[in-house]
Chain A
Amino acid sequence: MDFPISHSHISPIYLVVVGFLIGILGGFFGVGGSFIAGPALRLMGVHWNFAVGTDLAHIVGKSIVAAKRHRALGNVDLKLGLFMAVGTIGGAECGAQMIQALKRAGHVDVVVSIVSIAVYVCISTFMIWESRKTLKQAKASGAAKTSAQKKRDPSSFRGVTRRIQRFKLAPMIKLPVSGVTISLWVILFVSFIGGLFSGFLGGGAGYIRMPSMVYVLGIPTHLAVGTDLFEIIISASYGTFTHAVKGNVDILIALVMHTGAAIGAQIGAISTQYFAGPKIRLAFVPLPLIGAAIVIYTLLTGHKL
């Protein structure tokens, strides 16, 4: 199938399958999946700038489908998502500006790569430790049987999270859906950092934001996944618009990819019902490691995947 906007020729079946796989990951973990979509489009000869912009457009569509499904399951905190979108957009703009400044200073690639590898490995190591410890404790006290019990979200990091929640810097925001009251500045800080990495490394940086929501804000895992998807709709729409104005979006590719992602995202979202929070967090561990592997590959070969 010819895609005249990006001057590429790609099989629609390939795009649908890639979209389907990313849809499952997005629906289950609340991530954009750009670490797969970007390389998958590049592999078919799509130019780098089109791969980034088109991926963002497809993420918007996929996140709408997954977030709607999560909302039906009661897994979306709209209030939190709106606050987070503000921080993410601000952070993404700062991240993009920082990249420009670092480029002028030189050695930007090495600095950014080493920092991101360290962050990804730390996230994965921490999540393995935390989720395994929590699962062992849950096993000792009797495993959750019902869906409602699975949604109750124990965490071995709860002590630190509670201390963060006790940080009373006005305005304090009450989040009844998540069952949390927390300073607005903490929410903005978490989303800003996620946005910063998004602007720094490209993609949605869901592999940083989703764990931050669980461990720093104390949001239950199922709600963190759904809310992250809702937040991605807003921030990725903004990113799609700015990229499209710059001529970096092939919307036809995004529409075809999205036909697969729409069904994958629903499967992913529904599947979260059958897993407890710590199990979702344990399954999440390979995602930041894939991100780290891509950065290492880029660093060693000089080819951007």
Chain B
Amino acid sequence: MSAAIQGNGQMKRETATTLRAFLVELAIYAVLVVAYFFAVLHFLGDWLFQLQQHHHVVYAAVAILLIIGQAVALESVTSLLLRIIRGRTE
């Protein structure tokens, strides 16, 4: 009985830590995303537009590479942030 209560308490603490870590991560992530919008998308916009108008196959390949690249990069950034934040909150 006491083991179950202890386990329940530990789970609640874990959930609270994860939630707190996510909130901190969200704030840092928001700043990074805003910087990303201005720095990268602004410069890429015209080039991608020209590519989409004149070279459809190249545009398709670049589109796939960009979304995969961004996914891998963001996953690494969020995982790293989470590891750092969780490390500090625990």
Contact with A along B45-85 (1 / 0, CB 8 A): 11011001000110111111011101110110010001000
CA distance A274 to B19 in the complex (A): 13
Q: A189-216: which residues lie under 8 A (CB-CB) from chain B?
A: none
CA distance A68 to B59 in the complex (A): 26
Q: Which of B4, B41, B64, B71 contacts A244 (CB 8 A)?
A: B64
Question: Contacts A64-B71, A244-B59, A266-B78 hold; do A259 and B36 have CB atoms under 8 A apart?
Answer: yes
- What total of chain A residues lie within 8 Å of the partner, measured CB to CB? 40
Q: B17-43: which residues lie under 8 A (CB-CB) from chain A?
A: 18, 22, 25-26, 29, 33, 36-37, 41
The interface-forming segment of A54-62, A82-90, A288-296 is A54-62
The interface-forming segment of A110-118, A132-140, A159-167, A246-254 is A246-254
Q: Which of B33, B48, B64, B72 contacts A252 (CB 8 A)?
A: B48
Specify which of A237, A240, A251, A256 lies most central, judged by the most chain B CB atoms within 10 Å of its CB: A251
| Residue contact A5 to B67, C-beta cutoff 8 Å | no
Report the minimum CB–CB distance from A153 to chain B (whole Å). Answer: 20
Q: A123 an interface residue at 8 Å Cβ cutoff?
A: no
| Residue contact B67 to A255, C-beta cutoff 8 Å | yes
Set of chain A residues within 8 Å of B49, measured between Cβ atoms: 4-5
Set of chain A residues within 8 Å of B26, measured between Cβ atoms: 263
A-B contact count (CB 8 A): 104
CA distance A118 to B62 in the complex (A): 40
Question: Contacts A60-B67, A245-B60, A249-B60 hold; do A256 and B37 have CB atoms under 8 A apart?
Answer: yes
| Residue contact A61 to B41, C-beta cutoff 8 Å | no
CA distance A3 to B74 in the complex (A): 22
| Residue contact A249 to B63, C-beta cutoff 8 Å | yes
**Chain B residues packing against A (C-beta within 8 Å):** 4, 7, 15, 18, 22, 25-26, 29, 33, 36-37, 41, 44-46, 48-49, 52, 56-57, 59-64, 66-68, 70-72, 74-75, 78, 82
User: Sorted from nearest, which 10 A-B pairs have the closest CB atoms?
Assistant: A244-B60, A64-B71, A262-B74, A61-B71, A251-B63, A61-B67, A4-B49, A259-B33, A65-B75, A245-B60
